[in-house]
Amino acid sequence: MTFEKVKLVLQQLIDVHETLYQLAKKKSIMITKNQMPELEWLLREETKSVQKLRMIDSIREREVTALLNNKGYKGNEPILAELLKVVSEEEKESLLNLQEELLEKMTLLRKKNQHNQELLEESINFVHFSLELLSPQLSDHHYHPDHDVDQEQNSRTSSVFDSKA
């Protein structure tokens, strides 16, 4: 329930976001190089990191709540903004630095994930385009149910050779 525990948890959140960012950078490379088995492995690693992030965030919430209670503050939510209201100036500066670093990591990660999303959409569009090129296209000169029947009937009635002869 100490201020140091809150700082430690915030640093852990920063570290996990950095790990996720590094994984996202690798994901970009794997998507562009079409390395699917490696990408599957990376997605499993990313899932583990996201689970770790959720666990650490729940610890952060618990620690901030405990510290707020120790300081006698009965706020609405256990968030850093509430904690900043009750800590000393030195602690406040330390928390603001950690918060800023965390926000920077989150912004970088968000941008990289958006970039990866765009890469995946381009890849899917390319696959659809390739499939359209490979698949046969129905057009008027290839097949028309009524057209084929008419041609068959016309070929019977207007034969070049007289079969009765």
Look up residue 148 and give its two tokens: 């084929």
Q: Give the pTM.
A: 0.73
pLDDT band with cut points at 50, 70 and 90 for residue 1: low
Nearest to 105 by CA among 3, 7, 31, 12: 12
Nearest to 109 by CA among 23, 49, 45, 42: 23
Q: What is the spatial distance between Cα 43 and Cα 108, in angstroms, rounded to a whole number?
A: 18
Q: Model confidence over 140-161: pLDDT tens digits? A: 455 556 555 555 555 555 555 5
Q: Model confidence over 29-46: pLDDT tens digits? A: 998 898 889 999 999 999
Do 113 and 25 meet the contact criterion of CB atoms below 8 Å apart?
Answer: no
Q: Model confidence over 83-123: pLDDT tens digits? A: 888 888 999 999 999 999 999 999 999 999 999 999 988 88
**CATH class of the domain comprising 3-120:** mainly alpha
Q: What is the spatial distance between Cα 137 and Cα 103, in angstroms, rounded to a whole number?
A: 51
Q: What is the mean pLDDT of residues 57-62?
A: 92
